[in-house]
């Protein structure tokens, strides 16, 4: 059964601090992993996309890593800002139609 | 703004009723996806269309149906509504219909409340 587990479920950090979000997945077939940011009541926005052969991908202050052997991924946020407060969703995918499996997300709150 | 337009933003209806959600994809995108997001759950893939044809089907109930029209806009029809159908419904679009680097752009969603 396809599963995506994200940790922690929620996190509170102070503005300017760094944080790392974790994702463990069991998805087959697998060919790529995405991280999305979803503000409350809004649609998800793509942050990074990695194929199974890529180990890391950066997008500004966001850096994602992927270990396809252990089926783990992480999202590191550097120098957090108040606008980073959102849910961060790990999304592995694969197969002929690239079916995406969405995790339930880590809810991040950045406080001043 | 993702360029994907969903209407209406909010919808309140009663059990047993039927509603239609509408989605206009980004200019140039051929593929449309529908997702359901219930409270505290991850997005659940419902169905995908590519250039008017059904491409993939997920956990879509028989009471739900969708189509993509020649102008590429899509509609999701929900019938015989139940309380459990209350959720956020998202539409996404992409240029291609598959591929590991295919980016899906999401609309702002339609919040459906079934009373």
Q: Do A89 and B42 touch (CB under 8 A)?
A: yes
Residue A82: its pLDDT value, please?
A: 97
Give the tens place of pLDDT for each residue, B85-99. 999 999 999 988 677
CA distance A20 to A78: 9
Interface of B with A in 45-64 (CB under 8 A): 45, 48, 55-56, 58
Omega within 30 of 0 (cis) for the link into A29: yes
Q: What is the pLDDT of residue A95?
A: 83
CB contact under 8 Å between A96 and B98, yes or no, is yes
Task: List chain B residues with CB under 8 Å of A46.
Answer: 103-105
Interface list for B 3-32 with A (CB within 8 A): 4
Distance, CA of A84 to chain centre = 13
Residue B107 predicted with pLDDT over 90? yes
Given a cut of 90, is residue A58 above it in pLDDT?
Answer: yes
Measured CA to CA, the distance from residue B47 to residue A64 in angstroms comes to: 28
Q: Nearest by CB to A44, from B48, B56, B106: name it.
A: B106
pLDDT at residue number B53: 94
d(CA B31, CA B97): 5
Does B45 contact A43 at a Cβ distance shorter than 8 Å? no
Least confident stretch, A75-79, A91-95, A108-112, B15-19: A91-95
Report percent pLDDT > 90 for chain A. Answer: 83
pLDDT average, residue stretch A21-42: 93
- Give the pLDDT confidence score for residue A56 in this predicted structure: 96
Tell me, what's the pLDDT at B40? 75
Residue B109's region, left for phi above 0, alpha for psi from -120 to 50, else beta, is left
- A chain contacts of residue B111, beta-carbon cutoff 8 Å: 41
Residues of A in contact with B43 (CB under 8 A): 44, 89, 102
Q: What residue in B sits closest to A33 (Cα-Cα)?
A: B100
Q: What is the pLDDT of residues B29-86, one digit of tens each?
A: 999 999 999 987 889 999 999 999 999 999 899 999 999 999 999 999 999 999 999 9
- pLDDT band at B1, cuts 50/70/90? confident
Q: What is the mean pLDDT of chain A?
A: 94
């Amino acid at each position: 059964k396809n599963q995506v587990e994200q940790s922690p479920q929620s996190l509170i950090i102070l503005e300017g601090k760094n944080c790392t979000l974790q994702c463990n997945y069991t998805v087959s077939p697998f060919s790529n992993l995405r991280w999305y940011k979803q503000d409350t009541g809004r649609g998800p926005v793509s942050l990074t996309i990695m194929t199974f052969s890529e180990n890391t991908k950066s997008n500004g202050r966001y850096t994602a890593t992927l270990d396809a052997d252990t089926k783990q991924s992480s999202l590191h946020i550097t120098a957090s800002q108040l606008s980073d407060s959102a849910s961060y969703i790990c999304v592995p995918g694969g197969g002929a139609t690239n079916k995406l499996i969405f995790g339930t997300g880590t809810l991040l709150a950045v406080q001043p | 703004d993702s360029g994907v337009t969903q209407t209406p933003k909010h919808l309140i209806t009663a059990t047993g009723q039927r509603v239609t959600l509408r989605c206009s994809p980004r200019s140039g995108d051929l593929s449309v996806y529908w997702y359901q997001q219930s409270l505290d759950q991850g997005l659940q893939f419902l169905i995908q269309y590519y250039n008017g044809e059904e491409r993939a089907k997920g956990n879509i109930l028989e009471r739900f149906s969708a189509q993509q029209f020649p102008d590429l806009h899509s509609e999701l029809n929900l019938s015989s509504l139940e309380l459990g159908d209350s959720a956020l419904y998202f539409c996404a679009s992409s240029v291609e219909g598959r591929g590991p680097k295919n980016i899906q752009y999401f609309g702002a969603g339609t919040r459906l409340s079934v009373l």
